[in-house]
Chains A and B, each alone.
Chain A
Amino acid sequence: MKTSKYILYTVLSAFVLFAMSSCEPAALTEDDVFVQETDLDAMLQAESPEGYKIFELEQFLDTFMTEKGNFWSDTSQYRERSWDSKHDLYLYSVDTIPTNGRGIYIRGRITTDDYAGNFYKAMVIQQIIGGKQQNLRISVDLGSSAGMYQMGQEIVIRCNGLAVGRYANQPQLCVPSYNNNIYAMNASQKVGWCPGRIEGSVFRRNTKMIGAPDRSAIKYDTLTLATLYSEIKKKPSANTTDMSAVRKMDGRLVVLKDVHFNGQYDDNGTVKDCVVGHPDTVGGANVFAPSTQNIGYPQSRIVQDQGTNTLMCSSSEYAKFAYYYLPGADKTGVGGCANFEGTVTGILGWYLDKASDLADDKLDGFEWSVTPRGIPGFGIPDIQMYYQGDTESPWVPKEYDPNDK
């Protein structure tokens, strides 16, 4: 009897102990993981005992970004393509950010998404002040960053230890990085220090998410190409004031209405007609972005309004939709792409990688481009009407059948 009691007690206590033993911490709630607006000041003060400042984006550029950058110590480190000695023009710069012990912050809402592959290790944040868009690119070494920092998410970034610079004239939050791609085209003109990606761990540590994302709070400007060109200077002159104004348009989110793909593309400065061909080998194939044989430069397809205004639509060969046909309503035009009428949404960019072009007034207007963030089915429907295209037939390089709806 005594033994039976012992056995019973032993078994019971063992099971009770085991039952009590195993559980994970309570799940986190939204309140736990997002910074509340009301708590932000206290958090930043705690991080910055000597005080802090949140800069407006344009103010941030004006304060810290210089024409030459402060990172290079001598001219031997300026690369040929990025520096025009005649006019003392610089397309690449890196400025470290002096803090004097204070916390330097910027704040904005993310307008990009990298799922479709058209943005790679880069994002754009937008700040609306007085109804006006201010935008800044951020270069981050974080693959699939949009999974964590999603479109519509407002973030505040501590910039201490980071840098601001220009890559092919596009301003961005960055760190100095040495580009050693000796296999690149014109490598000897490109290899060297440039604005590079912020380490992913550092970015995560320096970034706070304010509230849940709200895509509806993202501001975009709906406009025709004609209106766009009335607002921006398509071919700015080679003076820094002009350049500075143009740069501030970079990263703007625009919805271009009443445009179509005209079946043409820019082949390294020459406008050519798209052709039917396999995009693995045919650079002019009538898709968004044929292969560059892994050189990796963006591929441009030209959108046009009903007049003569055109703009490059820029896509990466690594985009999920790279080999999708360019949309065209009746598919009878050049390259099977004419007479599409719709909107193209994307991030406006002004990309210039050769300073002498600017200095010598060789701009052709195609330095401007719009970069769609995605297509229907991939999260962000930047190209409307695409899905009116063919999704059922096997993909083969071919011309569209006009009767194929």
Chain B
Amino acid sequence: MRNKLFSMMCVLCIGLTAFAQTSLKGRVIDDATQTPIVGARITLANQNISTTTNASGDFLLLYLDAMDEEVLIEAEGYMATLELINLKENQANELVTVQLQQDVVTQTQDEILLNLTEEEMTDDEGRSQAQASSSSASTDVFNSTTSFAWSTARYRNRGYNSTAETYYIEGLPFNSAERGQFNYSAMGGLNDASRYKEVLNPMEASDFSFGGLGQSTNYMMGASRYAQGWKVGAAGTNRNYKARLNATYSSGVMSNGWAITAQIAYRFSPYVDNKGIIGEGIKYYSLGYFFTAERVWDNARLKLITFGAPTERGQNAAVTQEVYDLTGSNNYNPYWGYQNGKVRNSRIVKSYDPTVIAAYEWKIDEQQKLKAAVGYHYSMYSNSALNYFNAPDPRPDYYRNLPSAMWDGQIANPWYETSADQLYRADGTPYGYGLFIGEDMMGNYLGSAWIADDGNLVGPSVNKEQYNTLVNLWKTRDNKTTQIDWNNIYAANYANNANDPTASARYFIERRHNDIQEATAAINYQNTQFEHLKMTAGLEGRFSQGIHYKTVDDLLGGNQWIDIDAFADRDIKELASNSGFTQEDIKLIRQNETREGYELNKKDGDRFGYDYRINMGNLKAWFQNEWTFHEIDLYYALQLNFNSMQRTTNMINGRAWYLTKLAVEQGDAENYWKYYGKSAFERIDAGDATIQNVGNTIVGDAHYFLDPAFKLGLVYKINGRNRLKLNALAETTAPYARDAYISQRVHDRVVDNIYTHDNAKSLADFYASSEKVASADLTYEFNYPIVRGRVTGFFTQSWNGTELNGYYDDEARTFVNQALTGIDKRYLGIEAALAVKLGTYFTLTGAASVGDYRYTSDANSVTSAENGMPMTQDQGTMDLVFETRDKVLLKGLKLSSGPQVNASLKLSFFHSKMWFADVTVNYHDWNYLSVAPSRRMQGLYTGRRTDGTAVNGWFGDTYTNAIETTDGLDLRVDVDANGNAVYENAVLDANGVPVLKYPFNLMTMQESLAATNPLNRFTVDASVGKLIYLKNRQSVSINLSVTNLTNNTHFKTGGYQQARLPRAVRQGQLDYKNSTITSNAWKYPSKYYYAWGINFFLTVTYKF
């Protein structure tokens, strides 16, 4: 009763106020179904005032100036429309009911984009490809033009990492606390569920969060937003899944005040048994569900939301150019093979992220709003991989299995060889400066180079018959050579059983689980009681737990897997000899769990390897003031962000135990506790416990971070159609847990400058490890009936970033982890877009972005072996060194953040009989491959790391072979017979630092991903659609979207430089003194992803 009274009073007030003022009201409905459209944005172009429609599709704007006005009506999933109206002074003006037409093209593009982004969230080995922005649905002309068109090229907004984009659902933060990214697979295929969202450009004022460096998106999933009725659809595509079935039902707001919406989406593809086509060797099954119920009161809403999408899908991999060339296809996938005549992929992702959300909105009065939401989700993500122990590497594209492995040892050392042949790729372009040997050491001519069956010019010392045999096995896609040989894998295990039934399986499939559960609460308060001022304040709290473990997925005929570390087992000799451990100790070091009684034998489904949690707490408080005046709008906002992280482990890894013991033996007090956490170590150290009985769960040290952020913005309204916007941001951000621990699978050791409450000396220590960011942008925006657009310039500088890498190191001959700190980056660029109406039917849209995203400093690195092996030896004390410190020469290099030059020209056609079509031409350039830090280590160039240890044989107290330069570095360049430096052969990098003499510079230079032929940097997309209205408000829409229409197969979208360096141990010297880079600079070439060739997406949707 009280509510009704309150409502009546509100209506009365509104009515009276509207009567006294110039106002505009109206209603927005769906053209086909005639149902109200909720959340449509109504903007008066001349007065810069906007509002959104309510659950009935109604809107009301007050306090307007009387004038001729253009009313822009926009809604997600619909085509925007412009209405003209003469606003009469002190009258309640009314706009005729606006009927919006569905934007079938954008809806289809959204669906494609969602799928693309979901699949590329996580690549194998934890690498993340460049990700497309998913924020397609935005009324911003630049975003709406580019988000789909540039997704093929993996464009990133302003070059930022995906962690810079913040995602919310009903005001709750949904970027992972551990990795910083949004999990798109949670909404796999649920295009309707994710349709309604607010998208804010970087640093703009936001109602739902403080926002951040990149775009901010808030998904709104209240049931009342969805148009009443049924929608069923089917889609066919030749992408990773082949078909989709979809049904959505929405009740609309019922008489009891409730609205219900549900969607179910099934996407599938059986294993693709065709070599060379998109998705070869991949299967895909995903069932998405979405249910939301909303209770609507006059002044409040309660929303209950749940969704999830259990998905199982095969993966593919980046491979080297050699493999692409040999197989003649960009779609080659090394992860699958035939088992019993059927396709089986070794890498299967299983994901399911059930989510529940309850959100409550309370309109306290006309000036105050309160929103509160709580949510919980448990994200299950796992991927499988073949593991093996003491058996040949099962990967068909393992470098030893490729023809180029036969070049090893046959590339001339440029210091010694003079007569040789240039090395060419199959397409005639030179590989670089590599030379095959042409004569032996006695000067005898070995013969001429020859053209191999892969088109390469190959040196005379390479076995021609073997080389061509291997080439042709690849070219003909021989199953045993180019795919996983499941037969031999099973045979190895059965043979093993026959020889020793108690032995560890030689091969098995493991499943790596990276789950995270998060409980989140947020509260948001808005107050507009003061004239010109809108105040918003928010509080967000979140507890997250990352859950990481491995399970045995399939023993592939083996009897059991014995849970020991293969790298530690292989290095038994070094571990035994270098550390003074007993052989019994060494057995323990190999074990992933050292406690007595632990069952090492693992069967299907058992956990093994590692089992740890990262507990993370986050509390954010922020407020924002927005001032609106006739000519100027101003806002500023402040945020304080507290984070904590703590690792706990259920397994006591033998290498952690080993490293602790080493630290104790070496008297390295600072490192005593780093591998377990202080409390556990103190108990052990005090004799209260041994490592074997210290507890079921070892709780590591808690680390704390405190990060402030401030942003402000200014809008200068030149007139109703032109405006200038200025935004600025200064913030610090704590490192994500994934980058904070050096080897979190093994021990508790964190990167430098991360503190606990014990060892922090001041408050400042709690943001010592944080990345510091300053950013600003300036936008000019214009909006005329025929033409609209914007131009934005932006500048961002970040300092002190942290990254973690892992790779196999040829010198240490083991897997190493490398923590990088002190990384500075700069993002500088301009983005612009223009949309011009060309008569009744056509619109021409252009968009461009030119950026310069680069490192502005070198980084500091700490490198250590995961299995506890020493990395090198101090030349003075002869002590073994377990962590090497060096500088990584990154300064001046470009960031690998998608193309830095992008342009599109799009011609759209729309006919009032509901025909749609468009064609888009895109251009992308300045795209760079990510650089492997291992190839940019200062020690490689100077012979000496920053910690003083020697690299690559430039060893000795006097550094006799090194050249002392003015900057104090011993640069590794040639010396002539008299010991003088030979500088002319040294290659200089962008900073003037000499890099290794050719061909070694090939290993260190930054590679462009842009196609060699400029014409191949263009792609063309097109779509055509038709919406057919039937009787009884029913409709059918059909849309065909074709991407990469010209089938450009030269378009690389990403990849990575292999961190592994081709090194060999020079004979006659000790291990730690003599590793040298071999002449075969191509031994571990980069791996790439290519854009798919021509591909289509056809949808048919029936609404009733």
Contacts from A to B (Cβ < 8 Å):
3, 6-7, 10-11, 14-15, 17-18, 21-22, 24-28, 30, 32-34, 76-77, 96, 115, 141-148, 150-153, 161, 175-185, 187-188, 191-192, 196, 198-202, 204-205, 209, 212-215, 279-281, 291, 293-296, 318-323, 379, 391-396
Cβ–Cβ contact A147 & B388, under 8 A: yes
Given A18-B266, A18-B285, do A183 and B1067 touch, yes or no (CB 8 Å)? yes
Given A143-B392, A212-B495, A279-B577, do A15 and B1067 touch, yes or no (CB 8 Å)? no
B441 proximity list for chain A (CB < 8 A):
182, 187-188, 191
* B984 on the A face (CB < 8 A): no
- Give the residues from 560 to 599 in chain B that come closer than 8 angstroms, CB to CB, to chain A: 572-573, 576-577, 580-585
* B679 on the A face (CB < 8 A): no
Given A25-B342, A28-B487, A147-B388, do A15 and B287 touch, yes or no (CB 8 Å)? yes
Bound complex: CA of A212 vs CA of B393, how far in Å?
Answer: 21
A18 proximity list for chain B (CB < 8 A):
266, 285, 287, 310
Cβ–Cβ contact A28 & B486, under 8 A: yes
Cβ–Cβ contact B499 & A213, under 8 A: yes
Bound complex: CA of A26 vs CA of B338, how far in Å?
Answer: 11
Nearest CB in chain A: distance from B612 CB, A: 29
Cβ–Cβ contact A200 & B499, under 8 A: no
Cβ–Cβ contact A6 & B480, under 8 A: no
Bound complex: CA of A180 vs CA of B416, how far in Å?
Answer: 12
Report, as a range, how many residues of chain B touch the other chain.
Answer: 35 or more
Contacts from B to A (Cβ < 8 Å):
230, 245, 247, 249, 262, 264, 266, 268, 270, 283, 285, 287, 289, 310, 312, 339-344, 388-393, 396, 400-401, 405-406, 409-410, 413, 416, 437, 440-442, 444, 446, 461-463, 465-466, 469-470, 473, 478, 480-481, 485-488, 490-492, 494-500, 503, 506, 554, 556-557, 572-573, 576-577, 580-585, 1065-1071, 1074
Bound complex: CA of A182 vs CA of B390, how far in Å?
Answer: 31
Bound complex: CA of A177 vs CA of B264, how far in Å?
Answer: 61
A145 proximity list for chain B (CB < 8 A):
392
B446 proximity list for chain A (CB < 8 A):
178
- 9 CB contacts below 8 A, A to B, read A96-B465, A147-B388, A148-B492, A177-B463, A201-B481, A204-B480, A213-B495, A279-B577, A291-B1070
Cβ–Cβ contact A209 & B491, under 8 A: yes
For residue B229, which residue of chain A has the nearest CB?
Answer: A3
Bound complex: CA of A198 vs CA of B344, how far in Å?
Answer: 28
For residue B269, which residue of chain A has the nearest CB?
Answer: A21
Cβ–Cβ contact B1074 & A294, under 8 A: yes
Bound complex: CA of A95 vs CA of B264, how far in Å?
Answer: 67
B573 proximity list for chain A (CB < 8 A):
318-323
Bound complex: CA of A11 vs CA of B461, how far in Å?
Answer: 66
Bound complex: CA of A187 vs CA of B1068, how far in Å?
Answer: 13
Name the contact of B470 in the complex, choosing from A21, A24, A201, A294 (C-beta under 8 A): A201
B1066 proximity list for chain A (CB < 8 A):
183, 294
Cβ–Cβ contact B488 & A14, under 8 A: no
Nearest CB in chain A: distance from B496 CB, A: 7
Bound complex: CA of A148 vs CA of B582, how far in Å?
Answer: 31
A161 proximity list for chain B (CB < 8 A):
465-466, 469
Cβ–Cβ contact B463 & A180, under 8 A: no
Cβ–Cβ contact A148 & B506, under 8 A: yes
For residue B479, which residue of chain A has the nearest CB?
Answer: A205
Bound complex: CA of A293 vs CA of B247, how far in Å?
Answer: 70
Given contacts A10-B249, A200-B400, 11 further A-B contacts (CB under 8 A): A21-B312, A28-B339, A147-B388, A147-B390, A147-B391, A148-B488, A150-B492, A202-B466, A294-B1070, A319-B573, A395-B583
B487 proximity list for chain A (CB < 8 A):
28, 32-33
Cβ–Cβ contact B264 & A11, under 8 A: yes
B289 proximity list for chain A (CB < 8 A):
14
Bound complex: CA of A77 vs CA of B249, how far in Å?
Answer: 81
Name the contact of B1067 in the complex, choosing from A192, A202, A295 (C-beta under 8 A): A295
For residue A205, which residue of chain B has the nearest CB?
Answer: B480
A320 proximity list for chain B (CB < 8 A):
572-573
Given A7-B262, A161-B469, A191-B441, do A196 and B463 touch, yes or no (CB 8 Å)? yes
Cβ–Cβ contact B1068 & A205, under 8 A: no
Cβ–Cβ contact A180 & B312, under 8 A: no
Bound complex: CA of A185 vs CA of B1066, how far in Å?
Answer: 11
Bound complex: CA of A188 vs CA of B439, how far in Å?
Answer: 12
Cβ–Cβ contact A76 & B495, under 8 A: no
Bound complex: CA of A96 vs CA of B1067, how far in Å?
Answer: 31
Bound complex: CA of A146 vs CA of B390, how far in Å?
Answer: 8
B1067 proximity list for chain A (CB < 8 A):
181, 183-185, 293-296
Cβ–Cβ contact A142 & B473, under 8 A: no
Cβ–Cβ contact B249 & A7, under 8 A: yes
* Binding site secondary structure of chain B: mixed
Cβ–Cβ contact B584 & A394, under 8 A: no
Cβ–Cβ contact B400 & A141, under 8 A: yes
Given A183-B1067, A294-B1069, do A175 and B463 touch, yes or no (CB 8 Å)? yes
For residue A378, which residue of chain B has the nearest CB?
Answer: B572
B391 proximity list for chain A (CB < 8 A):
144, 147-148
Nearest CB in chain B: distance from A385 CB, A: 16
B462 proximity list for chain A (CB < 8 A):
178
Cβ–Cβ contact A391 & B496, under 8 A: no
Bound complex: CA of A199 vs CA of B494, how far in Å?
Answer: 24
Cβ–Cβ contact B390 & A115, under 8 A: yes
Bound complex: CA of A214 vs CA of B499, how far in Å?
Answer: 7
Name the contact of A396 in the complex, choosing from B485, B498, B580 (C-beta under 8 A): B580
For residue A11, which residue of chain B has the nearest CB?
Answer: B264
A176 proximity list for chain B (CB < 8 A):
463
Cβ–Cβ contact A395 & B499, under 8 A: no
Cβ–Cβ contact B499 & A215, under 8 A: yes
B491 proximity list for chain A (CB < 8 A):
33-34, 148, 209
Bound complex: CA of A196 vs CA of B581, how far in Å?
Answer: 39
A22 proximity list for chain B (CB < 8 A):
283, 285, 312
For residue B393, which residue of chain A has the nearest CB?
Answer: A143
Nearest 8 CB-CB pairings of A with B: A147-B391, A178-B461, A25-B342, A33-B491, A212-B498, A18-B287, A21-B285, A394-B580
Cβ–Cβ contact B440 & A192, under 8 A: yes
Cβ–Cβ contact B409 & A181, under 8 A: yes
Cβ–Cβ contact B499 & A76, under 8 A: no
Given A18-B310, A394-B580, do A150 and B495 touch, yes or no (CB 8 Å)? yes
Name the contact of A213 in the complex, choosing from B396, B461, B469, B498 (C-beta under 8 A): B498
B442 proximity list for chain A (CB < 8 A):
76, 188
B413 proximity list for chain A (CB < 8 A):
182
A280 proximity list for chain B (CB < 8 A):
577, 1070-1071
A215 proximity list for chain B (CB < 8 A):
499
Given A21-B268, A205-B473, A392-B582, do A33 and B494 touch, yes or no (CB 8 Å)? yes
Of listed A77, A182, A395, residue having the most chain B CB within 10 A? A395
Cβ–Cβ contact B584 & A25, under 8 A: no
A187 proximity list for chain B (CB < 8 A):
441
Cβ–Cβ contact A392 & B494, under 8 A: no
A76 proximity list for chain B (CB < 8 A):
442, 444
Name the contact of A293 in the complex, choosing from B287, B485, B585, B1069 (C-beta under 8 A): B1069
Cβ–Cβ contact B410 & A178, under 8 A: yes
Bound complex: CA of A275 vs CA of B926, how far in Å?
Answer: 63
Bound complex: CA of A90 vs CA of B9, how far in Å?
Answer: 111
For residue B466, which residue of chain A has the nearest CB?
Answer: A175
Bound complex: CA of A396 vs CA of B577, how far in Å?
Answer: 7
For residue B266, which residue of chain A has the nearest CB?
Answer: A14
Of listed A11, A209, A294, A321, residue having the most chain B CB within 10 A? A294
Bound complex: CA of A401 vs CA of B340, how far in Å?
Answer: 59
Name the contact of A191 in the complex, choosing from B249, B344, B389, B440 (C-beta under 8 A): B440
Nearest CB in chain A: distance from B450 CB, A: 14
Cβ–Cβ contact A212 & B494, under 8 A: yes
B495 proximity list for chain A (CB < 8 A):
148, 150, 152-153, 209, 212-213
Name the contact of B230 in the complex, choosing from A6, A143, A205 (C-beta under 8 A): A6
Cβ–Cβ contact A199 & B466, under 8 A: yes
Bound complex: CA of A394 vs CA of B577, how far in Å?
Answer: 9
Name the contact of B494 in the complex, choosing from A15, A34, A143, A182 (C-beta under 8 A): A34
